[in-house]
Amino acid sequence: MIKNILVGYDESRPAQVALAQAIDLAEVTSGRVRLLVVRTEERSAPKLELAAEPGIAEMVDVGLDDEELETESAGVPPFVEQARTKLIAADAAGSIRVTSGGQPAACLQEEADLADLLVVGRSRAHSGGQVGRTTRNLLKGHLAGPLLICASQYLPITSLLLVYWPGQLGGRAVSVAGGLAATLNIDLNTVVTTSGRRTLRRERARVASALLAYHTEGEVIATTEAPAQAVLTAGLQYNPSLLVIPEPSLPRWPWQLAPLYSSALELPDTLLLITT
């Protein structure tokens, strides 16, 4: 179950979307939202801890380690206070940590291994691509844990699509997708993809049997399309709010995304959840 939700946060609009999606998930899972803000300036504010209302936003760490606290509110960016206000207004348990130095993607990866889910925005308006630099850097490496990439705008999660292929990561995706569909009480459609037709029939039956445990509604279909193409075909057919895929195990190159990610990101009005 998703209880510990980490959000990569800054002053951008995609980060606002990520916060809204995380708060929604925390509400239905009784989870906790942790915001991590990475300030890349050479010099930032001193470290600061602020107590919030009990059980809501418990702590705000701001700035550099080993710096003396100069004033009680020194260096807190306005967008951090706005996020804190949103957490309190939503009655969402959580905290905000602001840190300086390092690359945002590396900092998020380091924190993600302590979370059930990392949530990030899709892109900044000026990025010129489907995802911003931080999200792209996350996708180019091995993920420390499940990653949710938000759509171009906030979306209520009303339907779910799983694209599955055999393997340990595929089995994990079935578990995550089934659990989410049951928790959210939404339909789960599943596409099973593998190259061998005999294997395909067996895998479809295995997945359909496993999903019975979650008491979900939806189709389980089979295809011999490669996963990257199956994502596009099924995404256009079902138009889901949330697409779930396993992390691909193919080698990665620093100059491009895995084909599976590129295909999934062509669905701009769909949240993308990558399981590990």
Domain with CATH 3.40.50.620 in the chain: 4-149, 159-275
Asked whether the beta carbons of 16 and 120 are under 8 A apart, the reply is no
Give the chain's mean pLDDT.
85
Please provide the DSSP assignment of 60-72 as one string.
EE-SBTT----ST
Residue type, 61: D
Exposure letters 197-230 (e unless 16+ CB within 10 A, then b): eeebeebbebbeebbeebebebebbbbebebbeb
Distances (CA, A) of 252 to 75, 92, 232, 261: 39, 37, 21, 11
Q: How far apart are CA 245 and CA 248, in angstroms?
A: 8
Residue 61 has pLDDT above 60, yes or no: no
User: Please, which pLDDT band fits residue 71 given cuts at 50, 70 and 90?
Assistant: very low
pLDDT score at 48: 40
Torsion angle of the four alpha carbons 100, 49, 57, 106, in this order, in degrees rounded to the nearest 10: 20
Residue 29 and residue 1 in contact, taking contact as beta carbons nearer than 8 Å: yes
The predicted-structure confidence for 174-226, as pLDDT tens digits, reads as follows 999 999 999 999 999 999 999 888 899 999 999 999 999 999 999 999 999 99
14 in Cβ contact with 121 (< 8 Å): yes
What's the count of helices (H) and strands (E) in the chain, helices before strands? Answer: 8, 11
Q: Regarding beta strands 159-164 and 242-246, do their DSSP bridges make them parallel or antiparallel, or are they unpaired?
A: parallel
The band of 101, judged by pLDDT with boundaries at 50, 70 and 90, is confident
Per the structure block, which two tokens stand in for 166?
């055999």
pLDDT band at 41 (very low <50, low <70, confident <90, very high): low
* Per-residue pLDDT tens digits for 107-159: 999 999 999 999 999 875 444 447 889 999 999 989 999 999 999 899 999 99
Give Cβ neighbours of residue 37 (< 8 Å, ≥ 6 apart).
Answer: 9, 10, 77, 80, 96, 97, 98, 99
- Please compute, for residue 245, the number of CA atoms within 13 A of its CA located in the half-sphere on the CB side: 29
For residue 203, CA distances in Å to 40, 164, 170 come to 47, 9, 11
Residue 100 — very low, low, confident or very high, per pLDDT cuts 50/70/90? Answer: confident
pLDDT in the model for residue 75: 63
pLDDT at 39: 84
Q: Are 119 and 150 in contact (CB under 8 A)?
A: yes
Helix (H, G, I), strand (E, B) or coil at 90: coil
Homologous superfamily (CATH) of 4-149 is HUPs (3.40.50.620)
**Mean pLDDT value of segment 95-107:** 90
Look at residue 24 and tell me whether its pLDDT is greater than 60.
Answer: yes
pTM: 0.88
Does 74 have pLDDT greater than 50?
Answer: no
Which run of H or of E encompasses 258? Answer: none
As a whole number of Å, the CA-based R_g of the chain is 19
142/140 Cα distance (integer angstroms): 7
- Would the pLDDT of 33 be above 60? yes
Give the span between the Cα atoms of 266 and 270, in whole angstroms: 9
**Ramachandran region of residue 14, left (φ > 0), alpha (ψ -120 to 50) or beta?**
alpha
pLDDT at residue 64 greater than cutoff 60 = no
The pLDDT of residue 44 is: 46
Alpha-carbon distance of 149 to 273, in angstroms, equals 6
> According to the model, what pLDDT value does residue 102 have?
84
So what's the pLDDT on residue 76? Answer: 74
Q: What average pLDDT score do residues 242-252 get?
A: 86
Question: Is CATH 3.40.50.410 the right assignment for the domain spanning 159-275?
Answer: no
| pLDDT interval class at 252 (50, 70, 90) | low
